[in-house]
């Protein structure tokens, strides 16, 4: 229920805490309403989404938590052993930071979207590979994430443990090992187990319940359980609140992490009305449980949802239609969060499109072991930005030691420079200059791959 504490990452010069705004229901966006109730309202977003201006306008205006849809999964982050690719995840974090949103990291260990090199390893090498993956990934994002789904979807439907490369190598113990390893790398991130079909009381949720109880009794660092909530319209389990409550009573946070509610297409008004009731019931269940920290839906609008490809003939599962117009479920969600029924639905903030358009000019001054870099960012789009985050890649061997007019995190590799309080507004056509000092080991070249609020910049 609490606002995120500001956390300072080792290796980061300054990391702004992204605490919830205090109280105000003004504007009646989902995030304002949720924050007034002490929870967050989030959405999944993918890299592709960042280039969609209608989507980013809605996302930035309505949601205060982002879960990367695919960008932090093992197959993206470490496609071959020891080779890490944080660019896609960093771009989601930059978007979130630029829009005052927090981020749920998703995920560190999962049987799916697991690169084949992991499942092909000899059993006695899996633990070391898992631990390095967790340590490197959680260290990279240290201080930047609200939470991690450390282990995703560990159970079969009957409550037995899913057999995969991790159980083959370590048995059930891989879960405690993964949680301990993640905690060592990023002690401030809330560590979750996340699964689907555990929303109501049944064999699978009982298995998760027993696991959490056992982990807590062993002192394993576990902070929360994520209930994905991929529902079919009209089938929200009646035991949802009671189930969330019994987990909370174990001493963990609970969250609805991937909410959607699929409808057989074409969606008629009866189904859309039932969907509105379903969304409302899910929000009410979270509000009824004091340790329920928030609700996230899976994809901003129906056009971004995984449902039509995974369940042919079904879709219309989110709060927004294919044109990002709010559906009946949106108003029901806002009302369940304490908004006034019939209030005109908020329109996305036109001054703050996520997909920016930008130009960067930069100048480097170097000496044998150091350099200074000044970067001028120009908003070449036609609308003002209310916040910005400039992502870029530092050449190998360079490490930022101090900076001006922005906060820089992390200090090497894929860096994000985030506006400070006095230069977040960037009018159409306006420029702002930031800079930093860095050490180098021979390569004093300028950074590459500048992107502002997720959109690539010209040089
Ligand atoms: O399946 C829905 C969600 C269930 N819980 C865990 C989540 O991580 C999962 O998300 C989905 C993504 O939304 C999909 O986008 O996970 C799927 C994979 O299990 C993602 O689908 C994959 C496709 O299967 C791939 O073919 C595609 O290359 O997305 C990939 C990237 O677009």
Return the ligand 1 atom nearest residue 48 CA: 32
**Of 114-128, 191-205, 398-412, the least confident:** 398-412
Note whether 329 and 37 are within 8 A (CB): no
Question: Which residue owns the Cα nearest ligand 1 atom 26?
Answer: 113
Strands 448-452 and 455-458: antiparallel
256-307 tens-digit pLDDT: 999 999 999 999 999 999 999 999 999 999 999 999 999 999 999 999 999 9
CA distances from 70 to 45, 93, 112 (A): 8, 13, 11
With the most atoms of ligand 1 within 8 angstroms of its CB, the residue from 44, 47, 67, 70 to mutate is 70
Please tell me the predicted confidence (pLDDT) of residue 48.
Answer: 95
Question: For the residues 240-269, what does the mean pLDDT come to?
Answer: 98
Question: Which residue owns the Cα nearest ligand 1 atom 1?
Answer: 306
- In the reported structure, the alpha carbon of residue 22 is separated from the centroid of ligand 1 by a whole-number distance in angstroms of 34
Catalytic positions: 153, 258
Question: Which residue owns the Cα nearest ligand 1 atom 12?
Answer: 69
Please tell me the predicted confidence (pLDDT) of residue 205.
Answer: 98
Helix, strand, coil percentages in the chain from 3-state DSSP, rounded to 5: 30, 25, 45
Please tell me the predicted confidence (pLDDT) of residue 348.
Answer: 56
Question: Which residue owns the Cα nearest ligand 1 atom 18?
Answer: 113
Strands 431-439 and 370-379: antiparallel
- In the reported structure, the alpha carbon of residue 42 is separated from the centroid of ligand 1 by a whole-number distance in angstroms of 18
Q: CATH 3.20.20.80 occupies which residues in the chain?
A: 4-336
**224 vs 298: CA distance, rounded Å:** 19
Please tell me the predicted confidence (pLDDT) of residue 421.
Answer: 77
Q: CATH 2.60.40.290 occupies which residues in the chain?
A: 358-456
Question: Which residue owns the Cα nearest ligand 1 atom 22?
Answer: 70
The CATH number that domain 358-456 falls under is: 2.60.40.290
- In the reported structure, the alpha carbon of residue 171 is separated from the centroid of ligand 1 by a whole-number distance in angstroms of 26
Return the ligand 1 atom nearest residue 196 CA: 5
292-350 tens-digit pLDDT: 999 999 999 999 999 999 999 999 999 999 999 999 999 999 999 999 876 655 555 44
- In the reported structure, the alpha carbon of residue 47 is separated from the centroid of ligand 1 by a whole-number distance in angstroms of 13
The pLDDT-based confidence of 16 (bands split at 50, 70, 90) is very low
Half-sphere exposure of 17 (CA within 13 A, CB side): 11
| Average pLDDT score, the chain | 91
Residue 200 confidence (pLDDT) above 50: yes
Residues of the chain above pLDDT 70, percent? 91
Question: For the residues 205-217, what does the mean pLDDT come to?
Answer: 98
SS3 97: helix
Residue 23 confidence (pLDDT) above 80: no
- In the reported structure, the alpha carbon of residue 306 is separated from the centroid of ligand 1 by a whole-number distance in angstroms of 7
436-450 tens-digit pLDDT: 999 999 999 999 999
List, chain by chain if needed, residues with CB within 6 Å of any ligand 1 atom. Answer: 69-70, 112-113, 152, 196, 228, 258, 306
Please tell me the predicted confidence (pLDDT) of residue 422.
Answer: 81
Please tell me the predicted confidence (pLDDT) of residue 355.
Answer: 57
36-92 tens-digit pLDDT: 999 999 999 999 999 999 999 999 999 999 999 999 999 999 999 999 999 999 999
* DSSP code, position 50: G
- Write phi, then psi, for 103 (nearest 5 degrees): -130, 135
130-144 tens-digit pLDDT: 999 999 999 999 999
Q: Of the CATH numbers 3.40.605.10, 3.40.50.280, 3.40.50.2300, 3.20.20.80, which one belongs to the domain with range 4-336? A: 3.20.20.80
């Amino acid at each position: 229920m609490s606002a995120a504490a500001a956390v300072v990452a080792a290796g980061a010069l300054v990391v702004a805490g992204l605490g919830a705004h205090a109280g105000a229901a003004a504007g009646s966006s989902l995030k304002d309403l949720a924050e007034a109730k002490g929870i967050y309202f989030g959405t999944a977003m993918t890299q592709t989404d960042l280039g969609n201006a209608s989507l980013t306008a809605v996302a930035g205006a309505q949601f205060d938590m982002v879960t990367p849809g695919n960008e932090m999964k093992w197959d993206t982050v470490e496609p071959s052993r020891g080779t890490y690719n944080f660019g896609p995840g960093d771009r989601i974090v930059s978007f979130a930071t630029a829009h005052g949103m927090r981020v749920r990291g998703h995920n560190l260990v999962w049987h799916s979207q697991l690169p084949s090199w992991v499942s092909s390893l000899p059993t006695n090498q899996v633990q070391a590979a898992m631990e390095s993956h967790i340590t490197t990934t959680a260290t990279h994002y240290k201080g930047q994430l609200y939470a991690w789904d450390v282990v995703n979807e560990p159970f079969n439907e009957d409550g037995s443990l899913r057999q995969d490369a991790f159980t083959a190598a370590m048995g059930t113990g891989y879960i405690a090992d993964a949680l301990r390893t993640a905690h060592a790398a990023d002690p401030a991130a809330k560590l979750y187990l996340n699964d689907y079909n555990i929303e109501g009381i049944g064999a699978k949720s009982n298995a998760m319940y027993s696991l959490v109880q056992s982990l807590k009794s062993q002192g394993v660092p576990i902070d929360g359980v994520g209930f994905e909530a991929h529902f079919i319209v009209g089938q929200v389990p009646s035991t949802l609140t009671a189930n969330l409550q019994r987990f909370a009573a174990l001493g963990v946070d609970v969250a609805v992490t991937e909410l959607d509610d699929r409808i057989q297409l074409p969606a008629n008004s009866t189904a859309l009305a039932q969907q509105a009731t379903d969304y409302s019931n899910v929000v009410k269940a979270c509000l009824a449980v004091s340790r329920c920290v928030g609700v996230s839906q899976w994809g901003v609008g129906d056009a971004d949802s995984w449902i039509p490809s995974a369940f042919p003939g079904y879709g219309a599962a989110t709060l927004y239609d294919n044109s990002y117009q709010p559906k009946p479920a949106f108003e029901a969600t806002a009302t369940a969060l304490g908004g006034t029924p019939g209030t005109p639905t908020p329109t996305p903030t036109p001054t703050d499109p996520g997909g920016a358009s930008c130009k960067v000019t930069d100048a480097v001054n170097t000496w044998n072991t150091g350099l200074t870099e000044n970067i001028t960012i120009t908003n070449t789009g036609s609308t003002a930005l209310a916040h910005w985050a400039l992502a870029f890649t530092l050449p190998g061997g360079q490490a930022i030691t101090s900076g001006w007019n922005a906060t820089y995190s992390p200090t090497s590799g894929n860096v994000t420079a985030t506006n400070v309080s006095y230069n977040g507004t960037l009018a159409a056509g306006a420029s702002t200059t930031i800079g930093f000092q860095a050490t180098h080991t021979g390569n004093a070249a300028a950074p590459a791959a500048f992107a502002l609020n997720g959109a690539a910049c010209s040089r």
